Amino acid sequence: MKNLAAPLMIVSSDCHVGAPSSEYREYLDPAYRVAYDESIADRERLESRTAEVVGRGPMSSDGDAEHDALTARWTAERRLTQLDADGLAAEVVYPQPAGRAAPPFYNIFGHPLDPGDPLAAAAGCRAHNRWLADFCAGSPQPERHAGLALVGIVDDVKAAVAEVEWAKRAGLRGVILRSQPLSGFGWHDPRYEPLWSVCESLEMPIHTHGGEGLELGDLPGSRSIFFTEVVWFAHRLFWHLLWSGVLERHPNLQLVLAEQFADWVPALLHRLDKQYAGTVSSITLTEGLSMKPSAYWARQCHVGASFMNREECELRHEIGVRSILWGSDFPHDEGTWPDTAVALHATFDGVPQAELRAMLGENAIRVYGFDVDSLARHAERVGPAIEKFA
């Protein structure tokens, strides 16, 4: 029986880790190390550009707090201190999207159709995955980190399947895909079927994370246009897998759409259900699906509601309480860290306890297979008291 008075067991479904380049270098296939060394200089330039895109540098080292946040990307002890201070029992970890602690050759803000050298990018992803597996396993409290493997390079589907199998063995808990594959028309292509099969059978949920979009150039308005458009590109995987029948054929495959807000979900489900029913126009294309789109959403899909706001909370029943995975976006500026308790109160004040516990922790525990007893012990120690949300 549940302890209704227990502190909140909070899992952030959207955190970011990444190594300094000297560490990544050790994990990188030696054939790519010279190119990597050269890319460090390029990365410094990319970082300046990213800093400009997001309005300020994501990794300024001014001040002790900033410095702690920077090193908490790769130092497990510092990271755990920050998780404790912020009241989190556990975290799901994505890579840094760009800049100093991003995987070799990795920049999610790049044009999805223009990945640079795909072989180098694939090597960089493999290096990150191996570093990440060691980082999680080597943490003093490994039960608090669920690492996600980058499987962005699937021109070679067999290699992608092998990487998923390796990631599972190495203790990683899911797979991150690009918004769009590096070649071809999209994730609806039947050539990716073995990838969906292995992710389903090994219980490795698949993810997209907001960041990619069409190339907009360095022009007036480009930054704002990018922010308007970027979330849409990260949504696409859902309807690509829906309409191509992947969610139908793989009923246990789980999909997580991370850091792309949650308020768009009800309108999208409404539109897709109308499209399925043929009431959008005279054209009916059910594509052989046995259920309406919102039913696949409820069964298999989740939205990573990073720094979720009150408005999104009020839409929770239309989004689906079981589909919401709250996230702090630690250690990024736009997230709730280091003031998560304040942010949670503003967003969730008055929400029934069962719903609160689902969105803040239990859903992530179910999706990622966290050990609930271990997390309960951490929550007992660091979680906010439930009375605060009465």
Residues that bind a copy of itself (CB under 8 A): 54-55, 184-186, 188-190, 214-217, 219-225, 227-229, 232, 236, 239-240, 242-245, 261, 263-264, 267, 271-272, 275, 280-285, 287, 307, 333-334
Residue with Cβ nearer a copy of itself (221 or 251)? 221
Q: What is the dihedral of CA 249, 316, 261, 240, to 10 degrees?
A: 20
Minimum gap (Å) between residue 38 Cβ and a copy of itself = 27
CA atoms within 13 A on the CB side of 106: 32
Closest C-alpha among 177, 35, 182 to residue 105: 35
Do 304 and 234 contact (CB within 8 A), yes or no?
A: no
Cβ at position 264, least distance to a copy of itself in Å? 7
CB 21 within 8 A of CB 62: no
Name the token pair of 91: 């975290």
CB nearer a copy of itself, residue 221 or residue 369: 221
Question: Between residues 261 and 370, which has the closer beta carbon with respect to a copy of itself?
Answer: 261
Report how far apart, in Å, the C-alpha atoms of 157 and of each of 152, 176, 189, 195 are: 10, 15, 11, 7
Which residue, chain included where needed, has tokens 């991150």? 176
Nearer to a copy of itself, 202 or 225 (CB): 225
Looking at the Cβ atoms of 166 and 232, the one nearer to a copy of itself is 232
Q: Give the span between the Cα atoms of 93 and 133, in whole angstroms.
A: 11
Output the smallest distance, CB 335 to a copy of itself, in A. Answer: 9
Cα gap 55→97, rounded to integer Å: 15
Paired tokens of 109: 């803000």
Q: Which is nearer to a copy of itself, 24 or 196 (CB)?
A: 196
Residue 268 vs 298, nearer CB to a copy of itself: 268
Sign of CA dihedral 3, 4, 7, 10: positive
Report, in Å, the least distance between residue 116 CB and a copy of itself: 18
Give the alpha-carbon dihedral of 202, 94, 340, 376, to 10 degrees: 30
CB of 25 to a copy of itself, least distance (A): 32
Report the 10 Å Cβ neighbour count for 221.
10
Residue nearer to a copy of itself on the CB measure, 184 or 369: 184
**Cross-strand pairs, 94:** 16
Least separation in angstroms between residue 382's CB and a copy of itself is 25
Q: Closer to a copy of itself at the Cβ: 138 or 278?
A: 278
**C-alpha–C-alpha distance, residues 220 and 165, integer Å:** 45
For residues 27 and 226, which CB has a smaller minimum distance to a copy of itself in the complex? 226
Least distance CB 257 / a copy of itself (angstroms): 15
Beta carbon of residue 121, minimum distance to a copy of itself (angstroms, whole number): 21
Could you give the count of Cα atoms lying within 13 Å of 60 in the half-sphere of its Cβ? 12
The number of beta carbons lying within 10 Å of the beta carbon of residue 358 is: 22
148 in helix, strand or coil? Answer: strand
As a whole number of angstroms, the distance between CA 129 and CA 151 comes to 9
Q: Which is nearer to a copy of itself, 116 or 245 (CB)?
A: 245
148: Cα separation from own chain's centroid: 8
Task: Give the nearest distance from C-beta 59 to a copy of itself in angstroms.
Answer: 15
Q: Looking up tokens 């960089």, which residue turns up?
A: 124
Whole-number minimum distance, CB 223 to a copy of itself, in Å? 5
Q: How far is the CB of 71 from a copy of itself (least distance, A)?
A: 21
